[in-house]
Structure 1
């Protein structure tokens, strides 16, 4: 089984790559610089490294990279700097999601490819009409105006919901929504819910990046987990934060 990971040098992406390699998976990563990969990855016999900016790849190159992959995972995000938040590309996550899904469709895989998107608990699943307080609506409205990365996350998930849908012949998907992200060394107990159980703005939970990586790897490698959450936007919290 082979998985393509984009955003593999990010804080969560590199943890996902390790999770997949530890499970015996073959992994391909698209990274701007191999120097940003952990040293123990670089000579791994089941890791293939493609040095490129994902949005700079031609359609033909993108097709070649997704061909033969059983799953594609996106841990892309914007750097927390002025350039990362307000510079280009403002639709990094959305455009990469669109182009990767288009490439998958072009390859016409024999069975649907699993697409796992790292998203955010601050984004609602509009298929479920998740309740939200007036105060949170106001804050989210401000975030849409002031923080382009929030809009990018919303639009990436909406593309999967509305353009790919739940019955696509070539692509199945899940959008994983962690809450307030923290770093921990080991996987701990965590909970997964169809919708937020607390306000991401006024009562945020905690989710460790390594738990997000573990759950994303479960979605990619475990059929029962995938069948439970495909076409959904599961929210993940560390167990101690619920």
Structure 2
């Protein structure tokens, strides 16, 4: 299996890369600063490093990099700096998702390509009835006004839900929604739910980035697990945070 990953140098994307390499999968990463990647990656024969910004690549280049891939994963996010939050590109995740999906469609693969998007529990799955409190609605409304990355996450998932949909000939998708992200060094037990079981604003749980990478890798590699969650927005919590 060959997997293209964008956002691979990020805190969670790097965990996904490592999980896939452990499974002996072929991985292609598009990164702006390859010199910052671990030396072990550069020496790994199963890893192809593409030095570029995904939004700067031409449509033809994206199609060529995706050609031969069985899955595409986006772990893109905005840096938590003033420029990262309020600077350009404000629709980084949405535009990358749209362009990558267009590139998949251009290639007209014989079998649908899996697209796995890392999203957030702060975004509701509007295909389901996910009730939230009035107070949380107010906070989310405020976030939409003051935090462009939140809107970007919402629109990226909405693109998959509404534009790609459930019956696309070339693309199947899943949007993974982690709760509060933390750093840990080993995979621990975690639980997956169709919708949040806690308030993402007022009673958030926790999940390690390595657990998110592990689940995303399992989604990509495990056909039964993929069939269970494709077209959905699964929520992931580390089990320890639910005790």
Band of TM-score, shorter chain? over 0.9
User: Secondary structure at 1:16's aligned position in 2?
Assistant: helix
Hey, what does 1:3 align to over in structure 2?
A: 3
Hey, what does 2:31 align to over in structure 1?
A: 31
User: 1:184-236 CA deviation, whole Å, 9 max, x = no partner?
Assistant: 00000000000000000000000100000000000000001100000000000
Hey, what does 2:160 align to over in structure 1?
A: 160
Q: Within 5 A, what are the aligned runs for 1:79-158?
A: 79-158=79-158
TM-score (structure 2 length as normaliser): 0.99
Hey, what does 2:67 align to over in structure 1?
A: 67
Asked whether the 8 Å contact 1:4–1:69 carries over to 2, the reply is yes
> Aligned pair count?
242
User: Secondary structure at 1:203's aligned position in 2?
Assistant: coil
Q: How many Å separate the matches in 1 of 2:66 and 2:221?
A: 17
Hey, what does 1:198 align to over in structure 2?
A: 198
User: 1:161-194 CA deviation, whole Å, 9 max, x = no partner?
Assistant: 0000011000000000000000000000000000
Q: How many Å separate the matches in 1 of 2:38 and 2:212?
A: 19
- Gaps in structure 1 of 5+ consecutive residues: none
Q: How many Å separate the matches in 2 of 1:35 and 1:232?
A: 36
User: Secondary structure at 2:124's aligned position in 1?
Assistant: coil
Asked whether the 8 Å contact 1:14–1:37 carries over to 2, the reply is no
User: 1:126-185 CA deviation, whole Å, 9 max, x = no partner?
Assistant: 000210100000000000000000000000000000000011000000000000000000
Q: How many Å separate the matches in 1 of 2:123 and 2:85?
A: 17
- Gaps in structure 2 of 5+ consecutive residues: none
TM-score (structure 1 length as normaliser): 0.99
User: Secondary structure at 2:121's aligned position in 1?
Assistant: coil
User: 1:79-132 CA deviation, whole Å, 9 max, x = no partner?
Assistant: 000000000000000000000000000100010000000000100000002101
Q: How many Å separate the matches in 1 of 2:223 and 2:93?
A: 26
